[in-house]
Structure 1
Amino acid sequence: MAGRNGRTVRDLRRGNRTAVLQRLYFDGPLSRFELGPATGLSSGSVSNVVADLIADGLVEEAGSVDSDGGRPRTLLRVAPDSGQMIGVDVGETRVRVELFDLALTELARVERPLTPQGYDVEVITGHIRDGVAEVLTAQGAAPDRLLGVGVGVPGIVEHTPDRGAVVHGQTIGWDAVPLEQLLRSASRLPDAVPYLIDNGAKTLGQAEMWFGAGRGARNAVVVLFGSGVGACLVTPEVEHGRAVEWGHLTVRVRGRRCRCGAPGCLEAYAGAESLLARWREEGGRPPEDTDEETALTAMLAAAYPPEGTAPDPVALAVL
């Protein structure tokens, strides 16, 4: 039966369950007493919802804490084994695929290195599809327990009604790539499993706001320094963050040529790829035949060596 606002009893029940699960997931463990103010539900509603969620295996008890003069309060948390998630990071140097339980415990991981020419669309989609299959097989996981696959990618992500997530990535040579369609076309996952695809800096920003340094903040800028430079801006008006092409802000007129083609971008000075190139140009000696992360680690070690060892003046100056 629908109420005056058009919501049915089922809608109300689903909304109450969602509210309790969200608070337990992001802020738990919490007691039933704490869930009331956190969700805006009455104590009776909290008790009913929690009983249902425990019966469904979605919530479990997680110890107890002393209360002020009363009985100890039982703490509740989302049951880690009640579902699984996959995270995919399409980085500058590799594609990483990880399987997690609901406590964000890593259950399996697969990495595929990328060459400088490795941003071929078929290569990337193949790495993602194979990686998803591998982490599920390694853990013996059932795809029907999978809640979703989150994918962070370089570039601007457009969410369209007919093609799903479409990626526009100038620096990686992607022009309106229908990534979601491509992943689904040969996917072994059930159609009901969602792909949640967005800009990598934005996904990092969201993670920091949920679980990291941004918790409790209403305004934040989360900066990503990698091969390139990105940022995520979070404000009350943009609750889930907005990806900012900060790396392509011009910091020097007629400066170094950026890989995007423009002169003087921040990325041309502060990105890892550019730092290593500048170190080499100015007489430094990056290790040969290594990946970018290893070479950058060597540059940092040269610039900031253990106490008693002289720093590499070129590496220090570039940094």
Structure 2
Amino acid sequence: MAARNGRTVRDLRRGNRTAVLQRLYFDGPMSRYELGPATGLSSGSISNVVAELVGDGLVEEAGSVDSDGGRPRTLLRVVPGSGHMIGVDVGETRVRVELFDLTLTELARVERPLERHGYDRPLRSQGYDVDVIVGHIRDGIAEVLAEAGIAPQQLLGVGIGVPGIVARTPERGAVVHGQTIGWDAVPLESLLRSACELPDTVPYFADNGARTLGQAEMWFGAGRGARNAVVVLFGSGVGACLVTDEVENGRSVEWGHLTVRVRGRRCRCGSLGCLEAYAGAEALLDRWREEGGHPPEGTD
């Protein structure tokens, strides 16, 4: 049966379940009494939704708190083991793969160092071998699942942060354009689907690394409760994520390639005077060497 706005009863139930799970995930543990105003649902709807989620093994009781003169209120939380997620960070010095439960408790981690190809060429010509990156991600996913004893079917998804711009296409999924790592329209998602032994039902979510960092800060870090924020990433490169009311999930900004000095130092992107040419990790090490410094060998 469809409501006047076109939504079916099934849609309404799914929306109510989503609202309760989101509040428990980000703000829990919470009582049924607190979930009402937090979700905008009636007490009856909260009771029905919570009963369903408990029955499905997604929510469990987590102790109780005293109420104002009444019976103690039972707290509810998301069941940690009811789902698992993998996060992948394709950085400029290493690939990190981590496995989490539904409360973002880390269960396993592996890291693979990366070596640049082309150090005898100009910085802008250096790049990463796509097959090497895909192999590191494939092996890392298999290793963390094996270490934690988690079946691939239990995964809710794989999130991947990468340097560069990510475009989504109907045919190939996420496609990465990464000038500083030498990638031009690399169909990363389709390559991973071919290489990784995961069910087709497991989704991949790939995005710019600065944008994923910004989203994480807004959900769990310094940006919680803020409506507007700028989250800056200083690493081998320099990136930023802008979050506003108009861009709720954040917009990645190529802040590192903003010109800060006309005809300044050459950046690895090929331009002159970029911020990254002064504040990026590789640039800082280069300037240290120019002044006679000697960074320890093997240092990341």
Question: In which range does the TM-score fall when normalised by the shorter chain?
Answer: over 0.9
Partner of 1:70 in structure 2?
70
Task: Determine if contact 2:257/2:276 at 8 Å carries over to the other structure.
Answer: yes
Partner of 2:257 in structure 1?
248
Equivalents in 2 of 1:11, 1:199: separation in Å? 31
Counterpart code for 1:284: G
Give, in angstroms, the shift of residue 4 of structure 1.
Answer: 2.2
Residue identity over aligned pairs, in percent, reads: 85
Counterpart code for 1:241: G
1:291 matches 2:267: no
Could you say what the CA RMSD is over the residues aligned between the two structures, in angstroms? 0.9
Partner of 1:30 in structure 2?
30
Equivalents in 1 of 2:81, 2:138: separation in Å? 23
| 4+ runs deviating over 3 angstroms | none
Q: Can you give the 5+ residue segments of structure 2 that lack an aligned partner in the other structure? A: 118-126
Give, in angstroms, the shift of residue 161 of structure 1.
Answer: 1.7
Equivalents in 2 of 1:194, 1:168: separation in Å? 21
Q: Can you give the 5+ residue segments of structure 1 that lack an aligned partner in the other structure? A: 293-319
Task: Determine if contact 2:57/2:82 at 8 Å carries over to the other structure.
Answer: yes
Equivalents in 2 of 1:282, 1:236: separation in Å? 45
Partner of 1:219 in structure 2?
228
Give, in angstroms, the shift of residue 6 of structure 1.
Answer: 2.2
Give, in angstroms, the shift of residue 139 of structure 1.
Answer: 1.1
Task: Determine if contact 2:172/2:187 at 8 Å carries over to the other structure.
Answer: yes
Give, in angstroms, the shift of residue 81 of structure 1.
Answer: 0.6
Partner of 1:136 in structure 2?
145
Q: Out of 131, 139, 144, which is 1:122 matched to? A: 131
Equivalents in 1 of 2:191, 2:151: separation in Å? 22
Task: Determine if contact 2:134/2:195 at 8 Å carries over to the other structure.
Answer: no
1:206 matches 2:215: yes
Equivalents in 1 of 2:191, 2:237: separation in Å? 25
Give, in angstroms, the shift of residue 180 of structure 1.
Answer: 0.4
Give, in angstroms, the shift of residue 144 of structure 1.
Answer: 1.1
Give, in angstroms, the shift of residue 291 of structure 1.
Answer: 3.0
TM-score (norm 1): 0.90
Equivalents in 2 of 1:115, 1:207: separation in Å? 27
Please say which of residues 136-145 and 210-219 is displaced more in the overlay: 136-145
Partner of 1:181 in structure 2?
190
Equivalents in 2 of 1:15, 1:42: separation in Å? 14
Deviations 1:88-129 (A, max 9, x none): 000010000000001111111111000122611111111111
Equivalents in 1 of 2:72, 2:144: separation in Å? 40
Partner of 1:11 in structure 2?
11
Deviations 1:203-224 (A, max 9, x none): 0000000000000000000000
Give, in angstroms, the shift of residue 64 of structure 1.
Answer: 1.2
Counterparts of residues 256-267 of structure 1 (less than 5 Å): 256-267=265-276
Deviations 1:41-77 (A, max 9, x none): 1000000000110011000111111111211111111
Partner of 2:121 in structure 1?
none
Partner of 1:167 in structure 2?
176
Give, in angstroms, the shift of residue 10 of structure 1.
Answer: 1.3
